[in-house]
Amino acid sequence: MPTAQQVQAIMQRYVERVDAGDIDGILQLYAENATVEDPVGQAPLQGIDQIAEFYRQGLGRMKVSATLTGPVRASHSGCGAMPFRVDMQWQGQDCSLHVIDVMTFDEQGLISSMKAYWSEVNVVPR
């Protein structure tokens, strides 16, 4: 199980790869049997194939930038939460989406679950 410092480093790396649009790099951070619930309230995606499709559909189709807006909060139980901002075009306008991702990790330090907290109340014009 990753230490709190390792959780911080991995989650920061995740945001950097989202920012770079590096889909292969993102997928390398996930365990084969991981789950993704983005946004929370949707039926979770199950396994790396569904997760790969999700990132290709999202990040693969538009340029976004992603920036941490505060420190990664990391527990001693192999999980963490972080606030970040995604700058993007939404319905033809420059917008920022404010998200909090909560992640759990397996023994290899791979993401076993990701939950993204946001809804359209968190989309603001830029």
Dist. CA 115–CA 88, nearest whole Å: 20
Dist. CA 121–CA 118, nearest whole Å: 8
DSSP 8-state class, residue 8: H
Closer to its own copies by CB, 23 or 123: give it. Answer: 123
Active site residue 30: no
Q: Catalytic residue among 30, 38, 55, 101, which? A: 38
Dist. CA 121–CA 105, nearest whole Å: 29
User: In angstroms, what is the minimal distance from the CB of 81 to its own copies?
Assistant: 4
Closer to its own copies by CB, 28 or 119: give it. Answer: 119
Closer to its own copies by CB, 27 or 123: give it. Answer: 123
User: In angstroms, what is the minimal distance from the CB of 11 to its own copies?
Assistant: 11
Contacts of residue 35, Cβ cutoff 8 Å, sequence gap at least 6 = 44, 45, 46, 47, 112, 113, 114
Q: Which residues bind its own copies (CB under 8 A)?
A: 4-5, 8, 39-41, 69-71, 73-77, 79-83, 98-100, 102, 117-122
User: In angstroms, what is the minimal distance from the CB of 22 to its own copies?
Assistant: 24
DSSP string covering 48-79: HHHHHHHHHHHTTTS--EEEE-SPPEE-TTSE
What are the catalytic residues? 14, 38
